[in-house]
């Protein structure tokens, strides 16, 4: 099998890249180790930056998002039983975000790819990337029990942290930077209308809490829990009681309860692999970087990566110049590190570090006071949350 771009992974990054390349007249093949049902049910991010929303619309994948997604013009910060709303459009010149789950983005892009895109092979396990230093890299994969080879001009690894793409980078070339956090998020889905019309980020002495949503009738909520927590240790009643405590306000705001349909614990870490390119092998999304979810940046960073690659390859086809492809890693990493910085800032400002002393806790509150009292500090948060420029 032969194609111009071999894409490993049919998450939002790989699927969007295939769509962008198709629209540019560049052929590709997408290999996904899981079946279609798994990809369309995999719960992940739900906040789309303004730039991601614009890219999906331009790619022809925005119709259902615009119909069913929930535009949000701000977030609420809570601490000390106080409430402070951050108004995104007023602080950013009109930017907003969209609540639209990654599962729905994948469904939309899969439908488009199967309708008029290139081959999308489910249950096709990539085994290795070979010849990245040559002008004919290839991906060895197994599909329907048979091993095969996909020959490419370029390979893009959108296969996550545990995928094969990053392992094809020589050890002497790779540099990694990471931080792990001594807590995680206990996340739930509940069949109850959201108790607030925008996301609520709550800092509490007992730990962080987040109120989010998946639709007008389904709530998504999170609690900070110790690292290694088993979700099954938490009863539904205990979860709701703890959420009530952490979201408490002085004005009598009420958290609505409902049946919990799903619960899981997400570990928290920051990770960056440099460079993001080796020869004709390019990394995108979680294959190259991970952020704690506090900043809502994971999916959006992946979108920035594949947009950067698609623009660079289109530029090469139009001009014959490899200039933008050669700059891929540096271009992406500028955005990645800004997202890492913002996600780290949000995480450390809002979570209770089990090792924190009184001085640390006072600094945390001082940071929140600064954001809520200074238009400059509030603008930095709003600009970072709604998204950094792509490219």
Residue 17 near residue 165, CB atoms below 8 Å: no
Residue 385 among the catalytic residues: yes
pLDDT at 135: 95
The values of phi and psi at residue 87, to 5°, are: -90, 105
pLDDT at 156: 98
Per-domain residue ranges for the chain? 5-72+97-177+269-351
DSSP per position, 260-298: EEEEEEEEEEEEEEE-SEETTEEE-GGGTEE--GGG--H
Q: Which of 22, 273, 278, 297 is catalytic?
A: 297
Q: Which of 154, 222, 328, 385 is catalytic?
A: 385
Dump pLDDT digits (tens) for 354-387: 999 999 999 999 999 999 999 999 999 999 999 9
Residue 204 among the catalytic residues: no
What CATH class does 5-72+97-177+269-351 carry?
A: alpha beta
Residue 121 near residue 246, CB atoms below 8 Å: no
Q: Which of 22, 72, 273, 278 is catalytic?
A: 72
pLDDT at 59: 97
- How long a stretch of residues is the chain? 391
pLDDT at 21: 98
pLDDT at 44: 72
Residue 192 near residue 256, CB atoms below 8 Å: yes
Instruction: Retrieve residue 192's tokens.
Output: 């109850």
Q: Which of 100, 201, 222, 328 is catalytic?
A: 201
Residue 297 among the catalytic residues: yes
Contacts of 218 (CB under 8 A, 6+ apart): 189, 190, 191, 192
C-alpha distances (whole Å) from 157 to each of 58, 220, 253, 279, 347 are 23, 30, 46, 13, 28
pLDDT at 111: 97
Q: Which residues of the chain have pLDDT under 70?
A: none
Residue 201 among the catalytic residues: yes
| H-only helix segments in 279-351 | 298-319, 323-326, 328-350
Q: Is the pTM of this model over 0.85?
A: yes
pLDDT at 46: 85
pLDDT at 244: 97
Q: Which of 12, 194, 292, 293 is catalytic?
A: 293
């Amino acid at each position: 099998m032969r194609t111009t771009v071999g894409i490993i992974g049919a998450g939002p990054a790989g699927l969007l890249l295939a769509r962008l390349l198709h629209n540019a007249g560049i052929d590709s093949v997408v290999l996904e180790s899981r079946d279609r049902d798994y990809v369309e049910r995999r719960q992940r991010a739900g906040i789309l930056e303004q730039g991601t929303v614009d890219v999906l619309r331009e790619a022809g994948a925005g119709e259902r998002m615009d119909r069913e997604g929930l535009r949000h013009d701000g977030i609420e910060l809570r601490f000390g039983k106080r409430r402070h709303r951050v108004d995104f459009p007023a602080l950013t010149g009109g930017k907003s975000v969209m609540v639209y789950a990654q599962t729905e983005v994948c469904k939309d892009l899969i439908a488009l790819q199967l309708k008029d895109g290139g081959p999308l092979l489910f249950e096709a396990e990539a085994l290795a990337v070979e010849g990245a230093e040559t002008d004919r890299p290839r991906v060895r994969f197994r599909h329907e029990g048979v091993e095969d080879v996909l020959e490419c001009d370029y390979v893009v690894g959108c296969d996550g942290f545990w995928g094969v793409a990053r392992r094809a980078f020589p050890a002497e070339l790779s540099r990694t930077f990471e931080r792990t956090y001594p807590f995680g998020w206990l996340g739930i889905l509940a069949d109850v209308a959201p108790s607030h019309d925008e996301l609520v980020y709550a800092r509490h002495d007992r730990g962080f809490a987040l109120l989010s949503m998946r639709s007008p009738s389904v709530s998504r909520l999170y609690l900070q829990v110790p690292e290694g927590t088993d979700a099954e240790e938490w009863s539904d009643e205990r979860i709701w009681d703890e959420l009530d405590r952490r979201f408490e306000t002085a004005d009598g705001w009420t958290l609505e309860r409902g049946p919990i349909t799903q619960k899981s614990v997400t570990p928290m870490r920051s990770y960056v692999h440099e460079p993001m390119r080796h020869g004709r092998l390019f990394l995108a999304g979680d294959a190259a970087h991970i952020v704690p979810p506090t900043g809502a940046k994971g999916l959006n960073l992946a979108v920035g990566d594949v947009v950067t690659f698609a623009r660079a390859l289109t530029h090469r086809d139009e001009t014959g110049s490899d200039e933008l492809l050669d700059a891929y890693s540096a271009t992406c990493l500028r955005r990645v590190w800004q997202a890492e910085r913002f996600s780290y800032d949000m995480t450390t400002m809002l979570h209770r570090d089990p090792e924190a002393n009184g001085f640390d806790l006072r600094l945390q509150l001082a940071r929140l006071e600064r954001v809520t009292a200074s238009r400059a500090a509030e603008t930095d948060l709003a600009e970072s949350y709604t998204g950094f420029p792509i490219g």
